Every structure is written in C-alpha cells, then in structure tokens.
Structure 1
Amino acid sequence: MQDLDVMGTFWLPNQERIAVFGRLTFNTKDGGIVHLADTLAEITDNHERHEKGGGTRSHVLGVLHKRSYDQPVTLLDCLWLSRTKYHAHMILIGAHFATDEETVFESASIRFNDAGAWLGQDAISVEVDTALDGVERRELTARLDRPPRISTRFARGEVALDFRWSRQDIEFKSMAIEQWPQFELTYDDRTSVSKIIEDAGNIYNLMSLCTDRPGLFDRIHLYRTDLPQKALTGDEFPGTQQEIELRARLGDRSLPVDAKVLSADDVPVPFDDLGIAGLASWLDRSPGIMPIIGALLSMRHREIYSENRFLNLASAAEGLHRATVGGRYLPDSAFRRLRRELRGYLPDEHHKWFNDLFAHANSPSLADRLTGLAQELGDSAHSLVGNNVDAWVHTVKKVRNDLTHLDEDRPQYDGRDLFFLAESIFDVTRLCLLLRIGLKPESLRRIARDIRTHGNFVQVEYTIQRISPPQPEAQEIE
C-alpha cells in the first residue's frame, strides 16, 4: 500500500460545524496517524463543547484537501494518543460512514505484489523484428491477452480471479500498458470491514504459504451498489460503483517495499495446483485453524528466536494432525474407565499428579503425528526429510522435548540445526495442509522435488546425523 501524507479537516459524526484542521499520514509500518490543530469535540444538548480524553473513537469523518479537489475520508477505530493526535486503525478513502451499521460492503477487490508470480500467467507479449535490408530500425509489437475471469462459490459468497489493465500515453513520447491480477470477493450479505480484512488476510496467508515468502498488499477496494461514482460537481454516474480505498497495516510489514521481484520459477506451489476451488475451500476452512496457520507462517518471520521458530513449527504439525485426523488409543469411555481403575491403586495425595500425567495419554504422541503426516505424502516425504523418515521423526521429537525442559542440563542446539529442522517440518506440514484444501495429488511429487532442489535438503540430513547419529548394532559375545 502506498504511503499517504495529506492535509485535511476532521470531525466526529454529526459535529462538522466544529471540524478541526489536521494532517493525516499513513505507511505500512506505523499505520494511520492524524495530527490535529485542536482536539476533537462534541456539542452537547445544552450547547456546551465537550472533550473526551482517552479511549477510542469508532468513527472520525473528514475531508482530504487534494491539489485540485477534496476527497471524503472515514477513520475507523481511532486510538486517543493525546489531545491532538490519534492512531487510525483503518482508513476508508472515498465516502463517509458515521456508524458501524453503515460501514458494510457488498464486494471487495484485493491486489498483492506477488500475485502475478503465484498465478504465472503473463498477459503481455512483445515481438521485436530485426532490421530489414540494412535499414536501422526495429519494429515492435506488443499484445495484451487478458486471461478469462474465473469464479466459484464459497460459504458466504463468490470468490473470483480477474485480470485488469490500464494504459497511459504521452503524445509523441511514450505509451505504457500495465496489467495486474486481482482477487474479487462478492458477498451474499453486506459484510463488515473487519470481516473483509479477515478474508483478504486469509488469501494473503495462502499465497505466502505457496510462494514461500511474505508478500505485500498493494490495494484493497470496497464497493456498494448504492454508492455510485460521482463527478467533481457531485453528479452521480448511473450503473457505477465508487471505489472505497482501504488503508490499514496488513501483512508482513518487515518485507522491504523494494524487495526482489518474485519470479514464477521461484514459486514452490503455483496457483494452478490449487485452482479457484482450492482458494474457496481455503476461505471456508482456514478460519478454524488460524493458530496452526500462524505458527506455520512464523517460519519466514525475520525477527524470531530459532528455538521459538522450531517450537512453533512442531506445534503446527501436531495441531494440524490433531485438528484434521484426531486419533485415540482407546475409546474415550474405555480410557476413562481404565484411568479410574489405575487411580484406585494410588493414595489420594497422588491423584492430582496421576491426573496430570494421564491428561493426554489417550492421544497419539508427537512422533505418531509426524509419522502420520509423512505417510500422507508417500514417497514425496523423502524429498523433504531424507530417506529415513523414522530418524527424522526421532530427531524432531528429541529436540522438541529437550527445548521444552527449561533446566540447566538440557542440550544446547545450534541455531542452524534448529532452522533446518524447522524448515523440514514446515515443508511437510505445508503440503499436508494444502492437500486438505484441494492440492492436486499428481502435483505432489513435482512440488516436493522442486523444494528439495531449491531448499536445504542436504543440511536437513546432516542435522539429523549430528543430533541423532545411528547407533551401532549390538554384537553378540561369543
């Protein structure tokens, strides 16, 4: 999202006559900040000016003074920092919304910086002819072929992928053609901004898992059929919808704006391997497993302790298997009966210790769950964790158990070893998660092979050998 720095006039709902001059700034690191010449206030029923300190203002309305026109703006969930300074959690540029009931929309379009590489569809082709008969000239032909729009249903509406384009000409000098993909959400019922942000964030999370890096939000536009576009004179254009631009701190803000442009060749899981149906399934299922997704995405966080990263990934793998497979050694009723019988042999003062010890005894262990996930990938698991899956499971379990015991005698692990082990867990868990939303099984072998080629496969095997070296077989004494 682009930075913003503009002067304007701001007021609380229904208090436009005591509007305050100020300056609104926005960037993806700090969010929206409004500096005011005076505090925001209200006129009470007895015509007195009332100032409220602290807390939040759910809605602050305003007008941005652009060079040649004024533009309405709404600031949402504004945190009071001082009498003349507020932090705006969300900024809506293009209209005024005075209440939560008004701040709802029918559709949204979302653009990401890495979407083009994830989709891998280039709509612009260029042909250059060489010079003819010694004439010093070259002929160039540029062609734009927009891919068709695709869409499908999800639980609360329709999700679509479309390609848009624009053209800018400077007479006698230049012509520029730009095309971009965007994801479009059309809801069955008008939806709040926070819910739209949640859906946009879920698409972002899926893209980040597939491209293997955090991306950036380029733009989010919101629409309603009863908010048409208007001319500068205020006249409405029939059959149109006003773009309401949303600005907020979204995504991984540690990614530099000038980060390396992602190539389609660098994407481990292209969009086509999931398709629009996979995206719809993700929108429906991901809200229920957000802690697992968040732990997975911490793999690519830039500022995180290596031990925390490893423990996050181990927790994500265990959580995914528990949430989607479950598993019990005994039926719950049989386990409770067995536990009561065993507890009956102990004195009362040991019952609490026994209950804590057996709290999770009926659930599969971390080793069982890691083995189950690896088995879901079949032979492709060997491209991610090495030829000896059992050795990988044993190593991950050993390191996880050691790191959860905060005593002086626990082993110390090198940060590189923890990183490579965490990455192997990440690769296995990521593919198992994507299989659950529709990843094509026939693509699995190719994806795992590409991850092995471009990843840290050799370091994973070396790490396993260092931490859990194979034990020599016992020799019989003659």
Structure 2
Amino acid sequence: MTLDVLGYWWLPDHEDHKVPGRFIWDAEEGGDLDLLGELIPLELKDNVLADGRVQKYRERRTKLQSQFPIIHGEVRRQAFTLLDSFSLNGVGLSDLEESPEHVATNGVLVGAWYTDRDGIEADRAIFHMRHLTTWVDTDSITTRYPHMDGEPDGPYIAITARQAPAYIARFENAEVRLFNELEPTGDRDTHSGVNHAWRLAIRADDASQLEKLTDIATNLRALVTIGTGKTADIEKTVLQHPKLVKRNLAGEALPKFRNDITYYSRWSHRSSDTAPVGRHDMYFDLAQLGGPDVIARWLATTARYSTELRRVMATRYTDAMYLEDRIANTCAALESFDIVRRGVPKDEATFKERIRASAENLGTPFADLIVEPLDEWLKEVVRARNDLAHHGAGFRLNGSVGEHFLAEQLYWLFAMNLLREAGADDAAFESIGKHRGLQWLVGQARERHAAE
C-alpha cells in the first residue's frame, strides 16, 4: 500500500503552527515527510555582547527533541496521525530563519487524530493477510464450462460464488472471525468477475489498545505462515472506533455504521516473495488444523510464548538472516519454551535436557523427521549450539555451524510443539510429515546417518 499526499502538518502541542508538506508512504521504506518549514516553531534568543550589541541565536535541538511520537496532518479535510517519527535533519537546524525539515515515520493512521501513542484504541479491526484465503481452503467460487461438458446450448462459462459461513473463535475479551468477502468486478459489459478473499476481523468487547489487536493478528500471521510455508504479510489494516460513526444529512449519528481508520505500518520482516501459494504447496490448511476451536487455543498458546514465537518466526520472515543466527535464535527460543512449558527453573535443567523434553513431547512426528536416534541428534544440536555460543572450532574454521536441514529440524521442533500445545488435529502433523519439504529433510538425514 502506498500514499502520496500534500497537506498541512503540526505537532499536537503546536496546533497553531501548521506546516505545508508532502507525505509519502511505502510499505517497505515507511513514511517520508518533506516539509516547507519546521514542526517546532522557531524561537530566537538574545545574546548580549560585551559592547552592548544584541546577537540573535537559536538553541540547537537535541536528538530527543527531534523525536515525535505523534504528528497530526490534514489532507483534503481528512485527518492523518503519523506515528513514531523522527527528524532526519532537526539536530542540524541552525539558521535564523525557518528551514525545510525532513521527517521519517514508522506508521500512519488515516481517518482520525490521536494525541497519545498509548491512547490509540479501537474496538474493531480488519486485517488483509496474504495467503489467508488459500489457507482457509474453501470452495466459495466454482467455475464450469458447460459447452465442454455435453451441454452445447448451455452457457460458455458458469461462475458460481457462494458466501461461505464465517469461522468464529473467542480469545480473551474479543471475537476473532475469519469471514468470506466476495466482490463483483468489471463493468459487466466487456468483462465481469468476482474477487474472492478471506479476511481476519477482530471485535473487542470494549475499545482496546492498538497493540492488543495487532498482537492477535501477528500471532495468527505466524500460524498461516507455518501452514502455508510462505510469509503471510499483513497488507492492509482497517480500524473502527465506537465514537467515529457515520452521520446522516441532518448530522445525526448512525451508530450501526462506522467510519474507517486505515492503519499503515512497517510490519517487521516483510517478504519479497508475493506470489500466491498453491494448495498443494502448503504444509496444512485450516481444516487439517482442526478449525476455529484450534485457532482460539493457538492464540492462547502463543500469548503464553509470544517472545519465543517472534524470535523463531523472524528466522522465517526474512531471507537475510545468516544460517548461524537461525540456529542460535531457534535454540534460545526452544530453551525458553521448555522453561515456561514444564516450569523447570533455568538452572535445574541443561540445554540438552530441555531439547530432549521438547522432542519427546512430540514423539513419532519428530522422530520420523530426524531419522537417527534421538541421543545422536541431540549431540549434534548441543555441539552446534556450543560452537555458536563460544565461537568453537566449527565456527572458526568455516564460519558456519551445522547445515540447512539442522536449522529446519529445530524450526519444526518448535513449530510442531506449539501446534501440539494448541491441540492441533493429528491431520495437521500427518500433512506436515508428507510435505515434500519435510520428505527432503528426511532424505538428507538418512544420507547423513548412513555416511557416519
């Protein structure tokens, strides 16, 4: 999603000082605000010289003064709130006249003004998530060619679109809904069709902080990423607040109809691969997972292991991470995961014992993946982890520890343990095991084990 707008911009504490400027938003680069003046009003001070003359000067800004949690803007009567911004040249502003200022920003809300970063609330949020539609895996749209099926007098093409029922789960004080969206396309004269998509909608019982809503979405994003094997980027977010309702021509509020607030954010670790995922390329879909009840349990599970989940998923969301970092991050997350899961204090179990506990918690699905006896595999993991932690021989000789399939084995040890904790159906584990990516890992493990 991109924006390129001209408007007036100001700080909440200086509403009477509005500066014209151009704002550009790019999902990869974030926001760029080019102003024709300065956000902080220019204040000149007097420096009285020894001969009585007065010299004008301005105090230099500090780095802290060049950070702006909130910037307000107005573009064609539409409200903008820029989030987590900082001036790229504010510290260096020293002229006695107002100078152009260049500001970078990490997020923007279009449709409302908020005065406090912690006060950004909404009770409804809709997230457009890449690959969610394929992962839900329904038959909302069917296409037939009657003339090819023995019906020469029938229509040439018949497209049937059915509104599929929503999947609904409860998590804490919110309803989490996956709903089917069907949208007609074309001018109906020269071309016509239907866009089909599944969306994530969160409806909180009361207005909730933005972070709470986005935490739910990012935890579900991790599930879809694990299931599809491709990064489920959040492409668009629409928020609604109970006080922002539509009004009729008489100015009366229509409580059932809300104004949308579009939220743009630099979601961490966006994927460069935007191609759709094929149904046969996925590790498991929603039906194999077990349906909406498992989604509710997944959200509860990942809330408990949120730090561990984010650390491991960072290894999947980006291709820029070194293999050694993937192994180190996943090992650290697995160690922390076991501390929380079993409640065994950090100093009362070794790293090896914790990895063993996670492997034994999975049983056959993981034993089939590593092929070799668990004790032998654990030795390899401990050796790799120690070499990384202490720059041991393997690291010093070639700058690399382990191999790609060791990193993958550790990743699936973590991912499948979370699925187990969430009560995923056996069908999900069976589907993971049959995936050609996992079969490749098994083949590599067999070759290595046979060569030893």
If the TM-score is normalised by the length of the shorter chain, which range does it land in? 0.7 to 0.9
Contact 1:41 1:52 in 2 (8 A): no
Number of residues of Structure 1 aligned to a counterpart in Structure 2: 423
- The structure 2 residue matched to 1:270, chosen from 285, 290, 307, is 285
Residue 31 (structure 1) aligns with: 30
Amino acid at match of 1:281: R
Contact 1:321 1:369 in 2 (8 A): yes
Matched, 1:20 2:19: yes
Distance 1:126 1:95 in 2: 42
Amino acid at match of 2:87: W
Q: Cα distance, 1:454 vs. partner?
A: 4.9
- The structure 1 residue matched to 2:104, chosen from 71, 81, 87, is 87
Residue 166 (structure 2) aligns with: 149
- The structure 2 residue matched to 1:283, chosen from 299, 304, 307, is 299
Q: Cα distance, 1:453 vs. partner?
A: 5.1
Report Cα offsets for 1:413-458 as digits up to 9, x if no partner: 6859422111111112211111101211354233223266554222
Report Cα offsets for 1:354-398 as digits up to 9, x if no partner: xxxxx83x31x3332333222222222233111433322222122
Amino acid at match of 2:415: R
Contact 2:108 2:264 in 1 (8 A): yes
Contact 2:230 2:277 in 1 (8 A): no
- The structure 2 residue matched to 1:57, chosen from 68, 81, 96, is 68
Give the 3 Å change call, closer, same or farther, for CA 402–168 of structure 1 in structure 2.
closer
Distance 1:144 1:280 in 2: 28
Amino acid at match of 1:175: S
Say which SS state the counterpart of residue 246 (structure 2) adopts.
Answer: coil
Say which SS state the counterpart of residue 24 (structure 1) adopts.
Answer: strand
Give the 3 Å change call, closer, same or farther, for CA 86–132 of structure 1 in structure 2.
closer
Residue 115 (structure 2) aligns with: 98
Report Cα offsets for 1:147-202 as digits up to 9, x if no partner: 11121221132211111222233152112311211111111221122332222222
Contact 2:142 2:159 in 1 (8 A): yes
Structure 1 vs Structure 2: percent identity of aligned residues? 21
Distance 2:227 2:162 in 1: 25
- The structure 1 residue matched to 2:83, chosen from 54, 76, 82, is 76
Distance 2:327 2:375 in 1: 19
Say which SS state the counterpart of residue 117 (structure 1) adopts.
Answer: helix
Q: Cα distance, 1:250 vs. partner?
A: 0.6
Residue 382 (structure 2) aligns with: 397
Deviates more, 1:190-199 or 1:450-459: 450-459
Amino acid at match of 2:86: L
- Structure 1 length-normalised TM: 0.79
Distance 1:306 1:133 in 2: 56
Give the 3 Å change call, closer, same or farther, for CA 453–195 of structure 1 in structure 2.
closer
Say which SS state the counterpart of residue 170 (structure 1) adopts.
Answer: coil
Map 1:206-355 to 2 at 5 A: 206-229=223-246, 239-253=256-270, 255-256=271-272, 259-272=274-287, 273-300=289-316, 301-327=318-344
Map 1:109-258 to 2 at 5 A: 109-130=126-147, 139-229=156-246, 239-253=256-270, 255-256=271-272
Q: Cα distance, 1:102 vs. partner?
A: 5.5
Distance 1:132 1:103 in 2: 56
Map 1:449-460 to 2 at 5 A: 449-450=434-435, 454-460=439-445
Residue 369 (structure 2) aligns with: 384
Report Cα offsets for 1:49-98 as digits up to 9, x if no partner: x9994332232222224xxxx42212123222234122222211112223
Distance 1:446 1:370 in 2: 24
- Structure 2 length-normalised TM: 0.83
Matched, 1:439 2:424: yes
Amino acid at match of 1:382: A
Distance 2:443 2:118 in 1: 56
Give the 3 Å change call, closer, same or farther, for CA 233–413 of structure 1 in structure 2.
farther
Q: Structure 1 unaligned segments of length 5 or more: list them.
A: 45-49, 329-358, 470-478
Give the 3 Å change call, closer, same or farther, for CA 407–368 of structure 1 in structure 2.
closer
